[in-house]
Amino acid sequence: MISGLFKLAVRNTLRRGKKSWITVIGVFIGIAAVVSLVSIGQGLETAIEQEFEDLGANNIYVSGEVDDSSVETVRRSLGVENAAGFYSSSEAVTFEGETEFVNVYGIDLTETELIFGGQGWDIQRGRNLRSTDSTSALIGPEFGENYERDPEIGRQIDIEGNSFRIAGEISAGDPSAQNSVLIDLDRAREIYELGDEELSQIVVEVQPGFTQQEVIENVEEDLRRERGLSEGNEDFSTTTPQDILDSITNILNIVQGIVVGLASIALLVGGIGIMNTMYMSINERTQEIGVMKAIGSSKRDIRILFLIESGLIGFIGGLIGIVIGVAISEMVVYTVSEFTTYVITRGYGITLLAGALTFSTFLGLLSGYLPARKASNLKPAEALRYE
């Protein structure tokens, strides 16, 4: 019996032609938006997590009012394996007469391994800076996009009238270092008249056997004691890669929730469209319903028939929406990987796709419930007399 009703429902849906497809549009637009946005958001979140894994899970960062003496204090803190500071600022850099603002990093060349590990940097081309490289520089992977010609290794760049030869290019895990120049910390202080001690951040390596939280408490206590500060009045802050990741993930989740909420409006419109279509179908098929009842169809049969039809519309809309949503997601992944240095992973999986299809089908069934109930309650005699 159910199979017969299903075949009849498919035939009725196809018979309505344009009306059915117009109803499907509202559903697949909403499903496509939800699938694409959720998959892109999850892919972006996974990519960010992978980037932060490169920053060193066992590192701590100290920012704010920090200088060379702060580095020495941190190094003496219980549980600290090593610490190194660097300076960063957006500054003008000239190449072949073109001047653009990029992120200039001044790094301690005796602690490049620690700083590189803490920032997720690696040498992609050329070589790393040596402790004696006061006139050499490294560039980020997007540095060349600022200029008409791509600066090659061995070419010179100019920073405030000081020439530096490009020794290599970094593969930057830190997004802010994508468009950057790395030079010796002492030269940076000299060029920008920073004084002998100013820093932007300290990278701290945790000793094996200590937790990050234990070391953070020790570092904060030692810095407060050195500066005569009370707890809660610090002029510095401590963070870990996980803290930064959690903050970014929370922001992504909020934005994704808002956008998906807006996309769900299309699903609501689609549900109303299904309900309207089913009510119109009842008016058009009133006599048909009367005939079905006259030859023995029960209220349950009529109700199931209309629920199958509405559920079928939701199912077809969900199926099309999934295909379009996956296609949009793939286009975004391809575009980002092809035209930028970032990589977004594919965020859709069987759970998301099956969930979207189930939801769209349920939406169809829910929207068709009241029309199906109305159809099942029609009296045979009145239905047969309906013009």
Alpha helix locations (H) across 54-184? 68-76, 112-119
Q: In DSSP terms, which residues pair with 236 in a beta bridge?
A: 64
Q: What is the pLDDT tens value at each position of the chain, 387 positions in all? A: 556 555 655 565 556 556 666 777 778 788 888 888 888 877 777 776 666 665 556 788 898 888 888 899 999 999 988 999 999 988 889 988 888 899 999 999 988 888 888 787 888 889 999 888 889 999 988 888 888 888 888 899 999 889 999 999 988 666 678 889 999 998 998 888 876 678 889 989 888 888 888 888 998 999 998 888 888 788 888 887 777 677 777 777 777 777 777 777 777 777 787 787 777 776 666 666 666 766 766 777 777 777 887 888 888 888 888 898 888 888 888 887 776 656 677 777 788 888 888 888 888 888 887 877 777 676 655 545 545
pLDDT of residue 119: 80
Cα 65 from Cα 201, distance rounded (Å):
9
Domain coordinates of the chain in residue numbers? Answer: 2-52+246-385, 59-240
- Residue partners of 172: CB distance under 8 A and separation at least 6: 119, 120, 121, 140, 141, 178, 180, 341
Q: Where are the beta strands (DSSP E) in the chain?
A: 59-67, 80-95, 98-107, 121-126, 136-139, 156-159, 162-172, 180-184, 198-206, 236-239
345 token code pair: 């992973």
Q: Which pTM does this prediction carry?
A: 0.61
Cα 72 from Cα 92, distance rounded (Å):
31
